[in-house]
A and B are shown apart, each in its own frame.
Chain A
């Protein structure tokens, strides 16, 4: 069975195709052909909602050892001391490369807001600190990724926020 997969890594999208071919796999990455052999796969297990396995692969004649965890919309691969967090799913294939910066400031993890440095309607520069979040006993300053005007502000000093909460929205100048 051949498969076609779009994997987003940061702002890049890799298009990977695989098809069985004799004792190995004929693969393509962004149109370039590669020869893959599965030397071993083991330890397939479910951990905290992820499907995890260890793979021994030969890619274009070179051996690689990888740990792979599959989640709903992501595949994490640990290989040669680095982790590759690929986003998968239909949204990735549809959206293509995402080079742009975000006009929203989002809580990267649960924490407490200790200071808000902007007010609704303020004009901010890219890189300007907008609020201070405390998590794991450390304070982190979140900054505006884009220049513009603060059009929404849900952050209140002293309150606790969840990961992913949109705290500030910034509209770039028209």
Chain B
């Protein structure tokens, strides 16, 4: 294995390219028409165009990706997360083309990728699951019956799902039909599989997950847990490790269950077993993500293990190189995901050119970024710009460092959630560790930027305007770009 094709974009493609270079491998980037010249293409040793802006034509296009691997002489493929990372068919196609697949065995992806098969597999390994049931398509009456038996509220989920897509909370029977239809549509669009199932919705649960790493020689270790309860639209925005709610006793049971779930499917490489944890310390298997996780940096910060480098090493067939006893977590780490989205307008995605960018620094701060000044945030993909993580000796110092780092950060162009992230981690309930998956709905139901420094900002604007623009030739033309007009539209709510 010498040359790795990174079948992804954005910050994770940059992250994987860095890991390749660290271990002496060449990295090949791919890009769609929307990503020409994007930072991830500049981080690699070569970049190959793979098709149109819609993901279907490029980052989800198996043929184009395999052709790019052939063209560039790559002998391995790292899928990152999202896109085809959890496609067993893609993993098989990569192996079928004689390339090394940097991920788990395709059979493990297939089992864990089907929520129902995954439940069956882990239940057989005595891992507790949330009560739930599969739904026959189109049978609304049966769905209502099942929902009543589980007791409202219930959750409608995509059988093929992940990342919160195709997921709906249903509070009563009146909302059930519309939720089933919407979840089915979203699941069909996102995964090409509209099957959904029902699950009992736990009240104020925490989302806690365990990172595992296994090699082909039978070594399987865990790297402790992460808590990712702060979510909007069922997608995480703040993650931390360790969880403020996990006691030593619960941790021992939790990591044991995670390792059992991974063993149940013959897991190899990096993966994450997700659980819901209730107020009494009971936990339930949610799903296993058979890939590197967005929030892997915080685990790297506290354990010192480079998870992506380990993925590369494992894929070559080498032993993991360390044992469970070598994993000694230290301190606390918190990650904030910087998204181009408007927290004051239902977190609606934003897009357009990055006009100016300032990234934070200082002790314990790590930035994983996929954008640069002048790069364009396309409409076509998930609007994650980057991740800012902070390490501290304890939770309070990690939170303080992260707050200061976010305050230091600046993004001009698309609307971002930067100010919102700061308000969330400064909230007294967050600082007390009272986090649960309904945290944002409970504490931030109608967030508005406080605009604390409007006076100073207005004076800065006035100073900037009081002199001629930088270059008359580059001033905007009479017709505004879509980006310029975006700010004037407001979501109706």
Interface residues of A (CB under 8 A from B): 1, 3, 5, 7, 9-10, 12, 14, 16-18, 25, 27, 29, 34, 36, 38, 41, 44-55, 57, 59, 62, 64, 66-88, 102, 105-110, 114-115, 127, 130, 132, 134-145, 162-164
Contact = CB atoms under 8 A, between A and B. Distances in A.
B380 interface: yes
A18 B462 contact: yes
B81 interface: no
B349 A76 contact: no
B419 interface: yes
B interface bracket (residues with beta carbon within 8 Å of A):
35 or more
Interface of B: 165, 182, 185-186, 189-190, 233, 345-346, 348-356, 358, 373-374, 376, 379-383, 406-413, 415-416, 418-419, 422, 449, 451-466, 469-471, 473-477, 480-493
A132 B492 CA distance: 12
A64 B459 CA distance: 11
Given A16-B458, A48-B374, A78-B356, A72 B480 contact: yes
A70 B476 CA distance: 10
B349 A55 contact: no
B453 A79 contact: yes
B492 A164 contact: no
For A73, A83, A88, A107, the residue with the greatest tally of chain B CB atoms inside 10 Å of its CB is A83
Given A80-B452, A84-B454, A136 B382 contact: yes
Contacts of A66: 456-457, 460
A interface secondary structure, majority: strand
A102 to B, nearest CB: 7
Nearest to B345: A108
Given A36-B463, A142-B491, 6 more contacts: A49-B475, A51-B470, A59-B459, A80-B452, A109-B350, A136-B381
A44 to B, nearest CB: 5
A158 B411 CA distance: 34
B461 A138 contact: no
Which interface residue of A49, A87, A134, A162 has the most chain B CB atoms within 10 A? A49
A102 B492 contact: yes
Contacts of A78: 356, 358, 410-412
B379 A55 contact: no
Given A81-B408, A137-B189, A47 B489 contact: no
Contact of B355 (A27, A50, A127, A132): A50
Contact of A134 (B189, B346, B406): B189
A46 B491 CA distance: 30
Contact of B461 (A5, A73, A115, A135): A5
Contact of B460 (A49, A73, A77): A77
A25 B412 CA distance: 26
B461 A86 contact: yes
B422 A81 contact: yes
Contacts of A105: 492
13 contacts: A5-B465, A14-B455, A16-B458, A36-B459, A48-B376, A72-B484, A73-B480, A81-B418, A81-B419, A102-B490, A127-B493, A136-B383, A139-B182
Contacts of A137: 165, 189-190, 382
